[in-house]
Chain A
Amino acid sequence: MTQKDQYKVHKEPFYQAQGNEVALFEAAYRNRLPVMVKGPTGCGKSRFVEYMAWKLGKPLITVACNEDMTASDLVGRYLLDASGTRWLDGPLTTAARMGAICYLDEIVEARQDTTVVIHPLTDHRRVLPLDKKGELIEAHPDFQLVISYNPGYQSLMKDLKQSTKQRFTGFDFDYPEAALEAIILAKETGLDEAASAQLVKIAQIARNLKGHGLDEGISTRLLVYAAALIKDGVSAQDACRMALVRPITDDADIRETLDHAIDATFA
């Protein structure tokens, strides 16, 4: 298996389009425009990127960003070796060489000075200078950069620089409409649609509480977990408590309100 195959998405991931985002992404890819995917956690951003990589038949290299990440974690670094030092490409460099889609997940988590290294790759130059190595990489014609971020817990500290933002085309994602979300749940897990609809209802209650003590509502991903538990024979109430309520809050009042919502919904 070549290195390229290793990064290929081999099986079609299930993705339910909410609008015309698939066509738009394809258009962006044809023109090799960098793409930014925004939306709350667990709404399907990563799944969408994975699906597009599969659909376009391109390898996908994903980097989960964090605040300790530095430029060399993206670009590459020297390692010690028996014969001295040896250069190791970082994921961004690998993607640029191989012609993969490089997906930087939760980009705002990385510090602003780190994200600046992507700048030369995201405009007309499409090059990546490796200053430590003294090399200038021309990006492969298939290379594309995709970033995602969650504007939900955006604070003053965690925002993208304007100069970074303005290099991307953007998609706004949100949790799907109730009916569509129920269908997604049913398709993803095989749970019947009535139960799926009830799960979605609870999720929406939690989403209404966003900003009243909840930073983020219940995500589609958590709903999938709950549905999987129910499918496995766990009672609906228990599954909801375990998968939907306990993970998202430590606030006793909110927990109790959501517990009540569960009891009221699954009578």
Chain B
Amino acid sequence: MMSEAETETPYQHPLMKAYWAQIDTHFKPVEDVFEDVMAEALVILTRDGLNAYLEAARVIGKLGRGAEPMLAFMEEWPSAAAVLGEEALAEIMAVVMRMQKSPNSRAITPFLQTLAPVARRLHSQELMRDYLDITLNFMERTTGSIHGHHTTFPSPGLPDFFVQAPFLLAQLSLVGLKNWVEYGIRNYRSHPERQRDYFTVQSADSRAVLQRERHGTLFMDVERKLDLYLHGLWQTSEQLVPYSTAFDDLRKPVPYYDKLGLRIPDVYDDAGEGFHRVAGIDRYRATLAHMVGHQRWTKPLIADNWSPFQRMAVEFFEDCRIDTLLIREYPGLKRIFLSLHPKPAEAACDPETTSCLRHRMAMLSRALLDPNHGYRDANLLSFVERFHDLLAGGESNTRDIATLALSYVTKTRRQSDQYAKVHFADTEVDYRDDNRQMWVFIEDSDDEEMFEKEKKRTPSEEQKGLPPRHYPEWDYKSLTYRPDWVSLYEVLHPKGNPTDIDRLLEKHSALAKRLKRILDLLKPQDKVRIRYQEEGSELDLDIAIRSLIDFKAGAQPDPRINMSHRTDGRDIAVMLLLDLSESLNEKALGSDQTILELSQEAVTLLAWAVEQLGDAFAIAGFHSNTRHDVRYLHIKGYGERWDDDPKARLAAIEAAYSTRMGAAMRHAGHYLGARQADKKLLLILTDGQPADIDVPDERTLIEDARRAVTELDRAGIFSYCINLDPKADEYVADIFGNQYTVVDNIERLPEKLPELFLALTK
């Protein structure tokens, strides 16, 4: 039992004493900071608000979670209340109580700790409510349960999520946050370790989804527009290399360019308000224009003998010269530049206490571009005039501008420029690059970070085969793509003995003869006569005479007495995609051959038939072993003739693993899409539904394949499925609509397949 003397606090002020009594606690850490937090609370909160605050603190203190949650609440709430309003407290407390009643009470502390930064991001009670809804939803769905409705295990990701919340909200809108959380819950609900990786923003797809949901203009969405912009307006075709801005808080990266290309941020938010609003894409354009301007007009200078201040001044002047020249080229850039350029107030910096050099340079930079700058400093005005004189006659050059900049530094130098406290506000021009290309150092300098040295490329181990291609996969539950979900490796199929294939063809020589007759009919006949034309190239004598007879006999003659010709070519590109999954090793029903062997025969005949027709034709096989290893086996390419090489590859086909159809179709579509042909046909020969061992929900891959069909359709590729599965009716229509055939009697596949193909392309 504690004595009276121990709990007695030394607060002198009776009011403070009363407050202390009100929260009714003995926590030492709370006591240490009590006076400070109360001082803040008293300033911000109203009388009622203060009472509610103390009451809430008391309740949190009694939760049995130690001093931490109480401390966090007492420190965070006043500043959160300043943004959200005091009324929001009830809802926050409701959430705290919900957590307390669930197994998730461990998350209360991080929740309260990040309350203030989250509130500052959201800025309104309504948005805060949405945020709380997201978290409650999150909590309920990830809290584990064994006995039905009793929840027993805490949500693994929730505490981590709260820790990340301020960062996430800086990157995402609430809708984006919701999608991001949703994705994590859906994919990692039953996997605590991965769930934590996801919600600590550690795992790759967590970052990928985050990137996708970010607000602003994403580089990947506008890349082509920017390429066109560079080509069209500036006649350069530099490589654009984005860098990430999401995970680099300390050192904000700045655009720059080097031998490898123009480096620009992966996202730009819209900037400015009203007339000065600049869309993200225009910020990209401004940044690119500025860099291109440097490439065009800036000659590097030797920097060794100049101080950092001098260099900074030269950079500001040179940047302005570049901008001026750019505006000369395209006057419309002026609005964008000026909207993005800060306009520092003339008196914003106190030269007695602070280093004002940056401030002076930013003002000057503004004045050089903006005739309505309104600054009155005499030095500034005279240098603006000198700058314009210098540029009046032409482009000037970096050296002359540097001379001007140096004399400006000399003229305006102050003792305070050396101070450690530097005025930074409103001095950063964010469309400008870091000017690293402007300087050449003869010796390594030590006064500034040196930019990355060129690294010697260590000869890495030799790569085998092509690097993987990544394809998204459709998640039908959320109607979104999982970005870069599937890794597909394309390899050349190993070779076997080509004579096996020739033997197969001999075996079916009767069938081949029959096919040959159909083929001859199908062969493109260059000219087709169209008769009964009113306007045509030639008189059709038979009809003309008949009409003439009618006419002479006094009857109404048929005026359609001409005929014309039409060329009838065949321009089809075909891709045959073979499912090479394990199930093909089974014996076909009522036959002693495996499905694989029958498929092989069928493909042999089809390839022979297509070769006869002269259509562009490619064959590939696929199978998969989880999403990390989808194999795409190249058997015949468009450029290859149907000779020994492709035959040898077809002879060696083997069946293994599973059927991840969507990715293979997308990859096949990637090749078909590049063909120049009137009609593009993707034939898929499969014996079962799409499935893979890492996908428990069998609908997922069916829906993904269906999505792939839609995508291909949009790209002008007609997909058609030849299915050998007797149970195919359950799913094949879902995927392919009515573009499919189920071959029940697999033994007859060798004759069915070519016939099908011919029927499709007639």
Q: Which residues of A contact B (CB under 8 A)?
A: 68, 70-73, 77-78, 80, 84-85, 111, 205-206, 208-209, 212-213, 253-254, 256-258, 260-261, 263-267
Contacts and interface: CB of A to CB of B under 8 A. Distances in A.
A198 B224 CA distance: 25
A84 B548 CA distance: 7
Q: Which residue among B231, B331, B538, B565 has the maximum number of chain A CB atoms within 10 Å of its CB?
A: B231
B232 A205 contact: yes
A205 B285 CA distance: 15
B193 interface: no
B668 to A, nearest CB: 25
Interface string B547-590: 11001000001010100110100000000000000000000000
Interface in B319-347: 330-335
B228 interface: yes
Nearest to B538: A72
B229 interface: yes
A85 B562 CA distance: 12
A261 B233 contact: yes
B537 interface: yes
Nearest to B571: A157
Ranked 6 nearest A-B pairs via Cβ: A267-B331, A70-B537, A264-B332, A264-B330, A267-B332, A257-B228
Contacts of A77: 537-539
B233 A205 contact: yes
A77 B564 CA distance: 12
A266 B330 CA distance: 8
A253 B547 CA distance: 56
A206 B235 CA distance: 11
Contacts of B235: 208
Given A253-B224, A264-B330, A267-B332, A80 B229 contact: no
Contacts of B282: 260
Interface in B35-92: none
B141 interface: no
B565 A70 contact: yes
A208 B331 contact: no
B332 A70 contact: no
A263 B561 contact: no
A188 B330 CA distance: 25
B350 interface: no
Nearest to A70: B537
Contact of A254 (B228, B334, B564, B565): B228
Contacts of A73: 537
A60 B281 CA distance: 51
Interface string B195-236: 000000000000000000000000000001101110111010
B186 to A, nearest CB: 32
11 contacts: A78-B539, A209-B232, A212-B227, A212-B228, A213-B228, A253-B224, A257-B225, A257-B228, A264-B333, A265-B332, A266-B332
B231 A208 contact: yes
Nearest to B225: A253
Contacts of A256: 225, 281
A78 B330 CA distance: 61
A257 B223 CA distance: 12
A68 B224 CA distance: 38
B384 interface: no
Nearest to A155: B676
Contacts of B231: 208-209, 212
A80 B228 CA distance: 57
A103 to B, nearest CB: 21
Contacts of B229: 257, 260
A46 to B, nearest CB: 25
Given A254-B228, A264-B333, A85 B285 contact: no
B544 interface: yes
Contacts of A266: 331-332
B228 A253 contact: yes
Given A206-B232, A212-B228, A212-B231, A264 B331 contact: yes
A267 B539 contact: no
Contacts of B559: 80
Nearest to B228: A257
A80 B540 CA distance: 11
A264 B548 contact: no
Contacts of A213: 228
Given A80-B551, A264-B233, 6 more contacts: A71-B537, A80-B547, A253-B225, A257-B232, A264-B331, A266-B332
Interface in B334-368: 334-335
Contacts of A70: 537-538, 564-565
Nearest to B562: A77
A266 B331 CA distance: 7
B1 to A, nearest CB: 77
Interface in B232-263: 232-233, 235
Contact of B539 (A85, A205, A206, A261): A85
A208 B235 CA distance: 7
A199 B726 CA distance: 66
Contacts of B330: 261, 264-265, 267
B225 A68 contact: no
A253 B222 CA distance: 8
A267 B334 contact: yes
Given A206-B232, A212-B227, A265 B331 contact: yes
Most A Cβ at <10 Å: residue of B335, B539, B551, B564 = B539
A258 B232 CA distance: 8
Contact of B567 (A84, A111, A208, A264): A111
A127 B428 CA distance: 78
A84 B557 CA distance: 12
A21 B431 CA distance: 48
A253 B225 CA distance: 5
Given A206-B232, A209-B228, A258-B232, A80 B334 contact: no
B686 to A, nearest CB: 36
Contact of A80 (B225, B227, B285, B544): B544
Given A209-B228, A212-B227, A68 B564 contact: yes
Given A71-B537, A209-B231, A257-B228, A80 B561 contact: yes
B502 to A, nearest CB: 33
A106 B285 CA distance: 39
B552 to A, nearest CB: 9
B335 A267 contact: yes
A257 B284 CA distance: 12
A206 B548 CA distance: 57
A206 B232 CA distance: 6
Contacts of A267: 330-335
Contacts of A84: 548
A267 B335 CA distance: 8
Contacts of A205: 232-233
Contacts of A265: 330-332
Interface string B267-291: 0000000000000011001000000
A85 B228 contact: no
B225 A261 contact: no
Contacts of A257: 225, 228-229, 232-233
| Most central of B224, B285, B551, B564 by chain A CB within 10 Å | B224
B227 A85 contact: no
A188 B51 CA distance: 83
A205 B224 CA distance: 16
Nearest to B334: A267
Contacts of A72: 537-538
Interface in B402-447: none
Nearest to A156: B676
Given A261-B232, A267-B334, A80 B224 contact: no
The listed residue with most B CB atoms (<10 A of its CB), out of A209, A257, A266, is: A257
Contacts of A80: 544, 547-548, 551, 557, 559, 561
Contacts of B232: 205-206, 208-209, 257-258, 261
A172 B597 CA distance: 60
